[in-house]
Structures are given as C-alpha cells and as structure tokens.
Structure 1
Amino acid sequence: MLDDLLKLIKNSPRWAQSRLARRLGFAVDEPAEEDPEPETTDHESLWTKLRVSGAQPPVRSGHASVVVNGMMYVFGGYNDGNCHFDLYAFDLTHHHWTKLENKGVVSPDGRASHAWCASADETKLYLFGGSGPHWGQTNMGKLLQFTLATQKWSVVTTAGTHPPPGYGQSMVAIGSKLYLFGGTSGHVYVNDLFIFDQVTATWSCAAATGTKPSPRYKHQAVVSGNDMYIIGGGLYDPPKGPIDMYKFDALSSHWTKVECVGDLPRSRIAHSVVLHTTSSGKATFLMFGGRDETGTRLNELSSLDLATSTWVRLSEDAKAPDARDFHTGVMWESAMYVFGGSNGIERNSDVHRLALAFEPSTLLVLAVQAVQSQLRSNKALQMQYRESYLPLELRTAVQSLNPDVTIASNDQWFPLPDANRAKQKVHPHAFCS
C-alpha cells in the first residue's frame, strides 16, 4: 500500500514540479509536459468566500471571535439597533455553523465591541465589557466565562482592583493570566492595563515600566510567546499618519514602542490582526481592513515580519473581501478567516478564507492531491477502496485543498452501503499501513 501511495505521489504533476521533490532527489517516472508552476513569493495569497452550511448567524458588526481546536466561536455584535447575545461555533474544517444553546442559568446581555478570549488551556472562553446599542450608556464590567465542556455561562467572582465598565478593550491570555487593555466609557478613552489572575481570581492594575500606548479603543492585541502586541486603534477616529505598534513583555512588565520600517499602513481602528507562524518558526502579523482617519473603510492586506519589524503591503486580490470595519479575523492551520463586519452602509455575515500560498504543502496534502486525481480516473482503484473510509487526517487535508468541498462530498469518494456506514470505524492510519 505504501509503495502504491508513493507512486501516486511521484506521478502527481504538482509533486513532480515542486522544489521539494527535486531537493529530495525523487526521480519522476515521466517529466511533466506543461511548464512548471511559477515560484511563489512570501507575499502571494488567495482569498476565497466560503460556502457554508448550518445555522449561519444573522449579519453583524462589533462582534468578537476566537479559535479553539479548529472551531471559531463568535459572540455578540450589533445590527439594526440591537445587540446580539448569541454564541455560534464555526467549524473551520467543514465550514459548518452551529448555534450553541446555553445549558446554564446565567446568560450574558447583548453587547458589541467587547473583549473575548480563550484561556491558555483552551477549556474556557472569557468575556468582558462591551456596550448595548446606546453606546456609553449601557457599559458592562463583569467578567463572564463560557465553559466549553459543559456549554454553560457563569459570572466569575473576582477580587482586587477591577477594571471599569467600558467597550472597545482587548483581552488576551498568557499563561494563567488575562491581560485587558484600553477601551472607552464612551466619553473617556484609557490606556490602562489590567491583569486577571485565573488562579486567585484577582484583578490588578499593572505597574508597568517603559513607553506605553496612548489611550485608545478598537485596537488589536496579539500574543507571540510571552509578549503582547498592541496594533493600531485610537479615539473615535484614529490618529493621522502610519499605524503604531507597542509590545508588552509579560515577564518583565515592560512596554516598548516598536519602531517599524517598510511600507507602513495608515493608522486605523476596528481592523483585524492575526499571527501566522511558519513551520520554520518565522512569525508574521497579517492585518486586514479597518477604518482610517477619513472614515474610509479599507480592504488592504498587510504583513509585518516580527523579526525585522518590517511592514509589506501585499498585492491586491480581486477576490478579497469588500472593504469593512468592525469585523473579526482569526488564524487556523495557515489560513486567516475574516467574518462579518460593516462597509458603512450594510453589515454581513460572510466568511472569507485567506490561504497563504507561501506555506509549502505537506506530504499529506500532496498525497491527497495524487489520490484524488487517481481515484477520479481509475475505476479499479475506486473498487479497491470502495469499502474504505477516508481518515480524518485526509478529510482535513482535502478540505484545505478546496474550501468549497463539504465533508459529505469527501465521504462520497469512498461510498459505503447504508447498512455498513454506521458500523464502519475510522482507522487513523488507513493510508499508512
């Protein structure tokens, strides 16, 4: 079986033309007739608007999203004079929406522009702040948690120096602590950093050193190692000029203004920033959208190399999402996902996927491509594997190859009689034995 799979891989045109195949010294049975694919650069990308299934959320902006184990959890948001209090889960592999029903007695109030993050152990989702539709008049200041195992909300009983109610803050987890920065009451903008110790359930206001960011809201906070980065944000309108960035070292409790170079993006609020780390360890921020000081919504895509603090404006893509702000962006398996937001006239609930072309395909993905091609053209192989079930690893890889493929169509590669389908067990190494 392994020999057959290797033959399929070797005969795959993409594998035959890849630099990795040549570097590893694989002999190709027959040279490819067509020209090799052009070499990609670090700045190539591909946007796709996903076709989704399930209970898709109503349109919204000002919501918040976080990823845990391949699921994007979306809470709250605003539309048409109302703030949502619903919680949805989007399966990033199968592109399926599920509305989660609260199994407890505590339920959060509807809100937008709140802070939302997962605990470091990814067992709980934390919610703080936000405002109802009358901005600044219904600010919220309780810390709530949603336990993923039980699907129950609860109010966290806390002690210490509590952050004030407000909205537009950011919140991230580093180890056993949550870091809440910035925000506004609707009248006053702050640059305080509050730390919540999950072990002692105690809030404290950080006594940090260094140069901390100016007061702001609707910035982005991203964690890399023990460092929290604050990117952009501002008052109701962002400041003029290029975007700024600050780093907070959680170990030393020290702020540093990061002096960036390159093609600096303009300042903005209500944008999205995600961290992408390649297999070689290179860390890059990807930033999309937002609103600049003129009130213009953006659909720019920029990247920042963390090692050199260099910004690059990525080439425009005709398939990029429309210009928007108050959307969310998350990162999962070398792809950025953008959900919802507003273009200033209307809101949406679409999901766009940015596949990073500079991330080299794994052998698993190459194998899937070869198997997919061979099965479609070879009836004998189709019969040989008729009683097999596509393993989870390959289903996931197939999904990454084609965002429009649903899990149902993946299963149809290897159709099982209805009587046997329920009894069939998935063997995780079916293609490796």
Structure 2
Amino acid sequence: VADGQTLYLFGGRTERKGDRNDVWLYSISTDHWQRAKPGNPQPSPRSWHTAVSWGQEMFVFGGIVNTKDNTDELWAYRFATNTWRGPLSPTSGQVPLPRHGHTAVVYEDSMLVFAGSTTWDLQDLHRYHFSENRWEALVADGPVPFPRYTHAAAMVAPQGTMYMHGGTTGNMSHIRNAEFFRLDVPRHHK
C-alpha cells in the first residue's frame, strides 16, 4: 500500500522461510528499502492476504497462516507510530468467512472484499466500515462473477464500480484472460 512517498509491504511467503509477517518500507524519493520492526501485538505470518490503505493505516485482511489455514483476521498498522492493532473485533455485522486469494479495494469510507477461496471458491461481497468498525454483507446490483480466487480488482470510486479480471477456479483451471467483470456496488448511506 502507499502512504505519501512511502510504499508498505507486509507478509507473503518465501520458499526458504515460509510465511512471513515482516513490514518493509520503500521510499520512492530515496529509492531505499527499510525493514520496520513493530512491537507486539502483530499479525501472525501469512500469505495470500490483502492490504489496503485508509486514513493513516494499512488494513490487512485474511490470508493463509501456518502455510495451510485460512484466516478471517483483520489487522491495522499505523504508519506514524509503527504499531499494529488487532485482530479487530467488529462492533456489529458478520465477519466474512476465512479466505485467501481474495481482492480488497477502498470505496468511500470502507473496504470491499470480494471472493477468494476457503475449502471452496467464493463469490461473496463484503464491506468493512472503517470508522464504524463493522462488517456488512452486500448484494451486488446486476450479475455477479463466477466464484474465483487470485483475480485482480480495481475500484472506480465516483461511480461505485469495481472491475475484476481473471482468476482461478477450484479445479486450478485459469479463467480466460479475456474475461472482465464489472460489479456495481451499493452506496453507503449513513
């Protein structure tokens, strides 16, 4: 994720060391990498998770922990203080199923989480309201893409349109590269 002139990288997997929970900072202006060393608490090592930036924090959701288990944890990393908070317990709403290979984008004052895989492939859509610390299951306007994971997604915020491309199905067959989906997201009304 990006915060000003700094990119933040969290977690992932290496062949030699397995799942990681490192936080790395890349300065765009100096072309320099630096490892951050936040104290506890901090998320367990994970891969196949998502991360988005909102306000002064990076929010990390889901992924695979212990190289095999899906998680539904949500953590927040504060840029200015190099500290984690979490796992966050929502004030209301149902936390999405544990998953990996999903996508997450920011829309209005929330994070949208789409699809991914658990013991089966998913096609559900959830909204996490940052300022209210609550989850909400959404029903999209129009057709919903087939269940998938390892796809790409981007948000066109003013229109409330989430675009998705590609991905993998449960039988490990790749979805045709030409498939491109548009998902219209209901607006949040306070």
| TM superposition score normalised by structure 1 | 0.40
Alignment equivalent of 2:182, drawn from 280, 295, 303: 303
Q: Assess, with a 3 A threshold, how the Cα gap between structure 1 residues 308 and 141 changes in structure 2: closer, same or farther.
A: closer
1:276 and 2:159 correspond: no
Q: Distance in 2 between matches of 1:131 and 1:187?
A: 12
What secondary structure sits across from 1:282 in the alignment? coil
Partner of 2:129: 249
1:283, distance to aligned residue in structure 2 (A): 2.2
| Alpha carbons 1:237, 1:295 under 8 Å: kept | no
Q: Distance in 1 between matches of 2:95 and 2:71?
A: 11
1:210, distance to aligned residue in structure 2 (A): 1.1
Q: Assess, with a 3 A threshold, how the Cα gap between structure 1 residues 308 and 203 changes in structure 2: closer, same or farther.
A: closer
Q: Distance in 2 between matches of 1:294 and 1:157?
A: 39
Unaligned runs of 5+ residues in structure 1 are 1-116, 310-433
1:118 and 2:19 correspond: no
| Count of residues in correspondence between the two structures | 183
Q: Distance in 1 between matches of 2:85 and 2:159?
A: 34
1:207, distance to aligned residue in structure 2 (A): 2.1
Which structure 1 residue ranges, 4+ long, deviate > 3 Å from structure 2?
none
| Alpha carbons 1:139, 1:165 under 8 Å: kept | yes
User: For residues 139-150 of structure 1, what are the structure 2 equivalents within 5 Å?
Assistant: 139-150=19-30
User: For residues 2-401 of structure 1, what are the structure 2 equivalents within 5 Å?
Assistant: 117-119=1-3, 121=4, 123-133=5-15, 138-185=18-65, 186-205=67-86, 206-208=88-90, 209-235=92-118, 237-239=120-122, 243-277=123-157, 281-299=158-176, 300-307=179-186
Q: Distance in 2 between matches of 1:232 and 1:274?
A: 14
Q: Distance in 1 between matches of 2:107 and 2:183?
A: 13
1:77-97 residue CA offsets vs partner (Å, 9 max, x unmatched) = xxxxxxxxxxxxxxxxxxxxx
| Alpha carbons 1:174, 1:223 under 8 Å: kept | yes
| Alpha carbons 1:237, 1:292 under 8 Å: kept | no
Q: Distance in 1 between matches of 2:22 and 2:187?
A: 39
Quick one: which amino acid aligns to residue 118 of structure 1?
A
The higher-RCO structure (CA 8 Å, 6+ apart) is 1
Quick one: which amino acid aligns to residue 38 of structure 2?
T
Unaligned runs of 5+ residues in structure 2 are none
1:262, distance to aligned residue in structure 2 (A): 2.4
Identity across the alignment (%): 23
Larger Rg: 1
Bigger fraction of residues in strand? 2
1:175, distance to aligned residue in structure 2 (A): 1.0
| Alpha carbons 1:237, 1:269 under 8 Å: kept | no
Q: Assess, with a 3 A threshold, how the Cα gap between structure 1 residues 187 and 162 changes in structure 2: closer, same or farther.
A: same
| Alpha carbons 2:143, 2:183 under 8 Å: kept | no
